[in-house]
């Protein structure tokens, strides 16, 4: 994929849990106990402000639920290596190059470099879903982090297997794209704003978010 110029705007990372009446944080990888994970979902200020505006357009008592935002380099590396190991175990004869290519469909290659920085390392990526008024996740036709064909956002647009999931995915995409986010087509739950993937998909002149770190040193050992 062609890169985009990066001109980092310098926005700080802020905790997404600042708006609990409409945004809930359920840190998936922290709850799973993965190294490098944190209990909060940190986002760049501009991405957070857009997420708040989108959340205000949810029905009364509905919430966005965030599974992941900013990632440490350690967590990004762990996730990539876990998937790489799984692919190689399933197909022992696969080349390392092809295994890395397949893994990168669902987990970006760990990189801090401006031309290849992974989206979650910038604070400009969020993994998200919607919960209804009684706290139940809407049916999206597949779970978070599943590396299956039904994880592709358009999967239910191409068949009539689950109309409810199709409509719920449309709702999520429409809410977030209305505020400037861009969906990653291979993952219905993943949205970008400001990073290089967002710039490539939207045609922006340049990316405004590069590698970032939140204003604390704590992380799971």
List domains and CATH numbers for the chain: 13-73+122-202 (3.30.1380.10)
Instruction: Give residue-wise pLDDT tens across range 113-142.
Output: 998 999 999 999 999 999 999 999 999 999
Q: What is the mean pLDDT of residues 177-192?
A: 98
First to last CA, the chain: 34
Name the residue with higher pLDDT: 208 or 104.
Answer: 208
SS3 state at 202:
helix
Q: Quote the CA–CA distance of 121 and 108 in Å, as a whole number.
A: 10
Q: Output the pTM of the full model.
A: 0.93
Give the pLDDT confidence score for residue 1 in this predicted structure: 46
Token pair 């910038």 in the structure block, residue: 122
Report the candidate in 68, 37, 83, 98 with the shortest Cα–Cα distance to residue 192.
Answer: 68
Instruction: Give residue-wise pLDDT tens across range 61-118.
Output: 999 999 999 999 999 999 999 989 988 998 888 898 898 998 888 889 999 999 899 9
Provide the mean pLDDT of the chain: 93
Instruction: Give residue-wise pLDDT tens across range 185-199.
Output: 999 999 999 999 999
Q: What is the mean pLDDT of residues 6-13?
A: 96
Phi, psi of 186 (to 5 degrees): -85, -10
Residues in the chain, how many? 221
């Amino acid at each position: 994929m062609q890169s985009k110029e990066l001109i980092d705007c310098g926005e700080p990372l802020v905790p997404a849990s600042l708006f609990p009446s409409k945004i809930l944080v359920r840190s998936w990888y922290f709850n799973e106990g993965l190294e490098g994970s944190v209990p909060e979902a940190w986002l760049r200020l501009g991405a957070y402000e857009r997420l708040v505006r989108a959340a205000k357009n949810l029905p009364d008592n509905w919430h966005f639920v965030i599974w992941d935002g900013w990632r440490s380099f350690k967590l990004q590396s762990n996730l990539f290596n876990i998937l790489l190991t799984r692919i190689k175990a399933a197909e022992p004869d696969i080349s390392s190059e092809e295994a890395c290519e397949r893994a990168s469909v669902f987990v970006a290659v760990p990189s801090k470099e401006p031309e290849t920085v992974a989206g979650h390392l910038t604070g400009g990526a969020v993994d998200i879903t919607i919960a209804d008024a009684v706290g139940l996740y809407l049916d999206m036709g597949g779970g978070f982090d599943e590396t299956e064909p039904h994880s592709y956002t358009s999967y239910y647009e191409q068949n009539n297997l689950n109309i409810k999931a199709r409509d719920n995915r449309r709702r999520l995409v429409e809410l977030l794209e209305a505020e400037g986010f861009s969906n990653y087509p291979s993952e219905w739950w993943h949205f970008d704003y400001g990073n290089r993937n967002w710039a490539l998909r939207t045609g922006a002149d340049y990316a405004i978010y590069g590698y970032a770190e939140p204003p604390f040193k704590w992380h799971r050992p």
